[in-house]
Structure 1
């Protein structure tokens, strides 16, 4: 049981690091090129959120259109599929990755459906969108923003 718990904690840390890395380097780095797959994040999601004071109308219904939410879900499903083999030899780690991806999606969706909730419960993400999109890369928890010194106040 101790090994499983250690694997789970490792999975939580890797998931938070991955969240930070993907957001900073894929979504904001590669996403600057308008012809990049990742461009949806800046040119769709951020643009809509700025116009609508944190709300993204694409998140207010299930993703039946090829919008930001659908593209985000595609990336999350790919992450889940890439981590599927870990269930056979690092079960605790895999469970943490799957748990983290689900929590990430639910928190991110809620943040863009209810700006008051986002401001209260995910202030770092609210700040990322409304004040400084070059900081606060984590969504579910700002641990790696603190470790990488990218958490702004």
Structure 2
């Protein structure tokens, strides 16, 4: 599955859909290719709302679309000044409450009423390559909607030393 998620191995999604439909044209009970992709790639039994209205370019675009936060606002980066604290431990010590969000959309970080909700990110052998592929794709196709890039920069700003790692683990 890892090779299918590499940017250099992408086949346009519509071609995969056409091939799937040709292969199973006689079977009326076959689900749509998009639904099958949701099931196999993400492990979802039903198709999320965002895929009912969206055309994806390929599998990497599919993954990015899935992980986008539900309420997203593009931010103009030209005039933006990022003033990050010196790590998550500084935020914690200043009274910000940290909560793990059970949401599987890792880009959906929220700050509400003094609580910072960060979805749990399970790190594995393919996490780095998947993030790198999503970043490369986003920089080429969505330079003004840089949710993955912003996510990685945000995480980088949270971790400065061992204390920060310990706060995140706890």
TM-score normalised by the chain length of structure 2? 0.27
Structure with greater Cα Rg: 2
Structure with bigger strand share is: 2
Structure with bigger helix share is: 1
TM-score normalised by the chain length of structure 1? 0.28
